[in-house]
């Protein structure tokens, strides 16, 4: 069965950073990991902005987010602490969906950084976008030295903020600035596709190791 993903990105510049990080570590992540089907949880901070935070959760399937166990800790059933912290922070992106390439790969151990790309292709361009991503873009980036995993996801709801998302787990952030990365990423096919991409959100992230 294809694995699912839940990703949350917050701008915490309007919140109290210490409380935000305590909430994530002491309540939010433990609460989610008790839900059957949540396989792991990872926290990330934007390379150039410590107020931009991303959390990723690999799921046994996207259907985990529609179970009674998840409903018991989400939506109207969120804890008072969750409601207070998320009211103060600004949500930048919520993405939930299914892993479409390779399909069943979980986040690898040992990644010091991650690049996230969330994209919606123009109407009528999804087939061309998919051919480019699956045949060239993802395989070439996956082969760059220092890339530990390359995965592509499709939103489970067509009303999602972004239609597709890719995650590249990296040895370190320098991998995404290497000559090999640039050669793999910027090709004639890429240049033909770029005008058809909407709402692109690309983040270079480093692993969050604690507020201290």
108-130 per-position pLDDT tens digit: 999 999 999 999 999 999 999 99
Provide, rounded to the nearest whole percent, the portion of the chain with pLDDT above 90.
94
Supply the pLDDT for residue 20: 96
Residues 6+ apart with CB under 8 A from 74: 65
Q: What is residue 8's three-state secondary structure?
A: strand
Supply the pLDDT for residue 1: 64
What per-residue string of b and e applies to 109-123 under the rule 16 or more CB within 10 Å gives b? eebbbbbbbbbbbee
Q: In the chain, which residues have pLDDT < 50?
A: none
Supply the pLDDT for residue 160: 75
114 near 46, Cβ under 8 Å?
no
Question: Considering only CA atoms, which of 58, 45, 53 is closest in space to residue 88?
Answer: 53
Cis, peptide link before residue 115, omega less than 30° from 0: no
CATH topology of domain 4-207: Alpha-Beta Plaits (3.30.70)
176 near 204, Cβ under 8 Å?
yes
Q: What's the CA gap between 77 and 83, in Å, rounded?
A: 10
Supply the pLDDT for residue 69: 98
Supply the pLDDT for residue 211: 59
Supply the pLDDT for residue 193: 97
């Amino acid at each position: 069965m294809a694995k699912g993903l839940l990703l949350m990105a917050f701008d915490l510049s309007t919140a109290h950073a210490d409380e935000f990080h305590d909430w994530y570590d002491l309540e939010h992540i433990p609460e989610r990991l008790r839900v059957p089907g949540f396989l792991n949880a990872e926290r990330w901070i934007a390379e150039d902005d410590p107020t931009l935070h991303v959390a990723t959760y690999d799921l046994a399937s996207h259907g985990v987010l529609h179970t009674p166990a998840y409903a018991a800790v989400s939506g109207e059933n969120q804890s008072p602490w969750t409601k207070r912290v998320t009211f103060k922070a600004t949500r930048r992106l919520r993405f939930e969906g299914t892993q479409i390439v390779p399909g069943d790969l979980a986040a690898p151990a040992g990644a010091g950084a991650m690049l996230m790309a969330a994209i919606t292709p123009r109407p009528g361009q999804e087939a061309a976008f998919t051919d480019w991503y699956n045949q060239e873009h993802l395989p070439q980036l996956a082969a760059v030295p220092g890339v530990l995993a390359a995965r592509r996801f499709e939103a489970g709801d067509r009303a999602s903020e972004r239609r597709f998302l890719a995650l590249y787990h990296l040895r370190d952030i320098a991998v995404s600035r290497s000559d090999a990365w640039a050669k793999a990423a910027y090709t004639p096919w890429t240049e033909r596709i770029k005008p058809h991409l909407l709402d692109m959100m690309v983040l270079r992230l480093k692993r969050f190791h604690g507020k201290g």
